[in-house]
């Protein structure tokens, strides 16, 4: 009855005897509970969030539907295991293009163990997280019937330079992307996917307004899942652009403080996407690897001692 | 000719044979150049900033005036040393109340040395920086002729809990603060110091709008200096509330990315100050020390397995 998801771009993946999420035919997504604190913490978040009356409806729609937890046959054949039961984000979608972006320049909660903090910090510094305030964590771009999807390796997208990220964000909304990153993406769907009153930018701005105010939760290592249907766009129809927040294993209470870490990264992403909309023809010239040593300030005028 | 500043609340302080900044009678502030990279980097920033035509005037006013560098007699008697020459922020001010706030949940630039990163990270975790996105780094509240100023130890203000910070921000704009933190501050100057079209909140919001867009500089370990004159407020006059950015030894180039770290911290501070304005009578009940272990999510409903 349960099967492998078609459109998972990040996280643990089931298949070949591995433990990962499953879906059913009724639009539900089964995510195995990680055995350590992460699993129970994610259930605690969904339980708290789903019963929290302070969450406005226009924000709640950015979160997956929560159907509790359930014991189901694990994908790795290890028997019955507890799973989170969520709404399947891609149900009813035809050939969606998907991008997962892990938000925040810090992916660890302050109260995590020293080992965990060290591991996260190392990765945050190695990837684009510290510089950008986010990192691409997985993507799957539909091009057309042949070759189908372009799905680059996760490692290659995690540590892109700012120029590299700009290029990916442009390719996401281009009609001429095939099975690799197009250096001259046409950005022909930018205005209907990113722009407009129901586009991705508008949704991100709604989320931003909430994050400027909410002090309930701090979302460490949480991702924004973006999706639209290119074939609808090609037919001149609404491409059903949609964002969702996913992955709440490291959410903690806000203690009366806004989630400045998530908010900062979100604003950085908003700036990148705004730039695609304002300068759709202005493609990055060169995609260099991220070299952090480069950016000391070198003013034209040197130091003058009088 | 040069003398000790009257109103320095943070940073190295001159006096007793120590090296620190000096002022003169013409409104200039002399900051000794730190011998290592920090000194040259701060000069590089001021030089770059002062000649950068992309900085709008309404933003430039938030920065100290830069008069170059100059060799002057150092305060520690070590002879002539190069100093940054800046506008003295407190010139013409009568008994100003001052608060310095170091902005950002990360105080280290990505390209710093491992030793420096480790040192900063340790301090960021020990103080309120990681949780709040900023930390109070020094303050000096004028109360009245007697006892004059309340100037608590820097260490005591750096690691305040969110409730502690709320209390300090309320005391800053209260008439009943004397020589200690008043548990029931009256917030009687909140609306004229924080509020209004020329108040501190309005200035912070202008700065925020710039930080949502600018990708020129990343301001690590930079502080916001806030100031107003209580005696003017008591006389019903405009209390000359003003913010300035200070301390640019760790500014680096933005590489086409917004300064999400500064922006996040700034938004957190804005939220705290907005709360004083919207609920001036709603004082924090208890000022506990910052206990990061407390904030795992504990929903009322536990985990249910079906």
Each residue of A269-289: pLDDT tens digit?
A: 999 999 999 998 876 655 444
In Å, how far are A13, B8, B87, B99, B121 from B240, measured between CA atoms? 59, 18, 17, 14, 36
Nearest to A260 among B43, B44, B267 (CB): B267
Q: What pLDDT is stored for residue B172 in this prediction?
A: 95
A215, A254 contact by CB (below 8 A): yes
Flag whether residue B54 sits within 8 Å of chain A, measured between CB atoms: no
Phi/psi of residue B80, nearest 5 degrees? -70, 130
Mean pLDDT value across chain A: 90
CA A182/CA A73 separation, integer angstroms: 42
Identify the burial level of A35 via C-beta atoms within 10 angstroms of its C-beta, where 0-12 means exposed, 13-18 middle and 19 or more buried. Answer: exposed
Closest B-chain CA to A290: B255
Lowest mean pLDDT among A29-38, A57-66, A281-290, B217-226: A281-290
pLDDT of residue A99 exceeding 50, the answer is yes
Q: What pLDDT is stored for residue B283 in this prediction?
A: 67
> For each of chain B's 306 residues, which pLDDT tens digit applies?
899 888 777 777 777 788 999 999 999 999 999 878 889 999 999 999 999 999 999 999 999 999 999 999 999 989 999 999 999 999 999 999 999 999 999 999 999 999 999 999 999 999 999 999 999 999 999 887 777 888 888 888 999 999 999 999 999 999 988 777 888 999 999 999 999 999 999 999 999 999 999 999 999 999 999 999 999 999 999 999 999 999 999 999 999 999 999 999 999 999 999 999 999 887 665 544 444 444 667 544 333 333
Q: What pLDDT is stored for residue A144 in this prediction?
A: 77
What does the pLDDT average to over A57-84?
Answer: 95
Strands B80-87 and B96-103 turn out to be unpaired
CA B40/CA A304 separation, integer angstroms: 11
Q: What pLDDT is stored for residue A264 in this prediction?
A: 98
Q: Tell me which residue has tokens 């510290």.
A: A130
CA A123/CA A104 separation, integer angstroms: 13
- Nearest one of A269, A266, A182, A295 to B252, comparing CA atoms: A295
Flag whether residue A69 sits within 8 Å of chain B, measured between CB atoms: yes
Flag whether residue A295 sits within 8 Å of chain B, measured between CB atoms: yes
Nearest to B47 among A48, A106, A301 (CB): A301
% of chain A residues with pLDDT over 70: 92
CA A265/CA A129 separation, integer angstroms: 9
B156, B111 contact by CB (below 8 A): no
Q: What pLDDT is stored for residue A295 in this prediction?
A: 60
Between A and B, how many residue pairs show a Cβ–Cβ distance under 8 A? Answer: 180
Q: How far is A124 from chain B (nearest CA, A)?
A: 10
Q: How far is B177 from chain A (nearest CA, A)?
A: 24
Instruction: Give the ipTM of the model, two decimals please.
Output: 0.92
Instruction: Check CB contact under 8 Å for B296 and A253.
Output: yes
In Å, how far are A306, B39, B76 from B81, measured between CA atoms? 11, 12, 10
Instruction: Tell me the sheet residues that pair with B227.
Output: B98, B242
Q: What pLDDT is stored for residue B85 in this prediction?
A: 97
Flag whether residue B106 sits within 8 Å of chain A, measured between CB atoms: yes
Q: What pLDDT is stored for residue B17 in this prediction?
A: 82
Q: How far is A207 from chain B (nearest CA, A)?
A: 14
Summarised one tens digit per residue, pLDDT across range A165-183 is 999 999 999 998 877 788 8
Q: What pLDDT is stored for residue A298 in this prediction?
A: 59
CA A143/CA A120 separation, integer angstroms: 34
CA B24/CA B206 separation, integer angstroms: 31
């Amino acid at each position: 009855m349960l099967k492998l998801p078609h459109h998972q771009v990040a996280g643990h993946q089931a298949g070949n005897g591995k433990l990962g999420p499953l879906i059913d035919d009724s639009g539900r997504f089964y995510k195995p509970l990680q055995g350590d604190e992460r699993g129970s913490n994610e259930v605690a978040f969904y339980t708290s969030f789903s019963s929290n009356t302070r969450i406005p409806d226009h924000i709640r729609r950015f979160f997956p539907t929560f159907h509790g937890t359930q014991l189901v046959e694990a994908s790795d054949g290890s028997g019955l295991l507890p799973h989170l039961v969520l709404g399947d984000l891609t149900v009813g979608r035809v050939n969606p293009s998907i991008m997962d972006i892990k938000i925040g320049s810090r992916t660890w909660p302050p109260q995590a163990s020293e080992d965990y903090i060290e591991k996260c910090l190392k990765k945050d510094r190695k990837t684009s997280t510290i510089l950008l305030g986010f990192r691409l964590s997985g993507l799957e771009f539909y091009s057309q019937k042949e070759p189908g999807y372009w799905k680059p390796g996760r490692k290659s997208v995690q540590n892109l330079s700012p120029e590299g990220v700009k290029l990916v964000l442009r390719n996401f909304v281009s009609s001429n992307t095939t099975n690799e990153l197009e250096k001259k993406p046409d950005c022909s769907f930018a205005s209907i996917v990113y722009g407009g009153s129901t586009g991705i930018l508008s949704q991100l701005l709604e989320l931003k307004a909430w994050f400027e105010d909410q002090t309930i939760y701090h979302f460490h290592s949480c991702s924004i899942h973006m999706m639209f249907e290119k074939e609808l766009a090609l037919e001149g129809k609404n491409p059903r652009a949609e964002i969702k927040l996913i992955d709440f294993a490291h959410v903690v209470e806000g203690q009366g403080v806004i989630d400045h870490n998530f908010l900062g990264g979100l604003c950085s992403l908003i700036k990148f996407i705004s730039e695609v909309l304002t300068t759709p023809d202005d493609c990055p010239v060169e995609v260099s690897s991220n070299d952090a040593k480069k950016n000391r300030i070198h003013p034209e005028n040197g130091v003058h001692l009088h």
